[in-house]
Amino acid sequence: MSSVVFATLPTLLRRGRRKAKTRIEHEAFVPGATDAHGNPVEAWADPVERFVFGVAPRTSEEPVLVGRDAVVVTHEVYAPHGFPLAPRDRVRHGGMVFEVEGPRMDWENGPYSGRRVGSVFGLRHVSG
């Protein structure tokens, strides 16, 4: 019988994984971008290679929508303190493109007060 263990950021750091070795590609959202005709468009900067502590799966679901076969996959990124991801940015990892979901969550409160342990970001990929 096997068991699955989901590690938290402080657990990863206690286990000696203090070096950010997992490679991702970060595409920053460019607000106010326009097309050749001056119309507003969504745009992202060119990908930049960055390193994080890890990327872990959260959920995968297939919402029932009439006329649509969709799959929603979510992951978490465990990153060094002050990592420059923001909502609407994109992350490329494992052959998928994710959008950053929500604000950065910093491990700086409670038992981690006064320490810059790191940050956690939610990612979301929708296909179909």
Question: Would you place residue 14 in the very low, low, confident or very high pLDDT band (cuts 50, 70, 90)?
Answer: low
How many other CB atoms are there within 10 angstroms of residue 54's CB atom?
16
120, part of any domain:
yes
Per-residue pLDDT, 29: 96
Residue 99 in any domain: the answer is: yes
Residue 4: inside a domain:
no
Domain count for the chain: 1
Query: Is residue 78 included in any domain, yes or no?
Result: yes
**Is position 2 within any domain?**
no
Domain ranges, residue 78: 9-127
> In this structure, what CATH number is given to the domain that contains residue 119?
2.40.10.370
Distance CA 24, CA 83 (A): 12
pLDDT attached to residue 117: 76
Could you give phi then psi for residue 67, rounded to 5 degrees?
80, 10
pTM for the model stands at: 0.75
> In sequence order, what DSSP letters do the residues of 45-62 get, joined into one string?
PPPEEEEESEEEEEEEE-
Q: Let me know if residue 1 belongs to a domain.
A: no
Is the confidence at residue 45, as pLDDT, over 80? Answer: yes
CA 119 to chain centroid, in Å, comes to: 10
Average pLDDT over all residues of the chain:
81
pLDDT digits (tens, 9 = 90+) for 64-106: 666 667 788 899 999 988 889 999 999 999 999 999 998 888 8
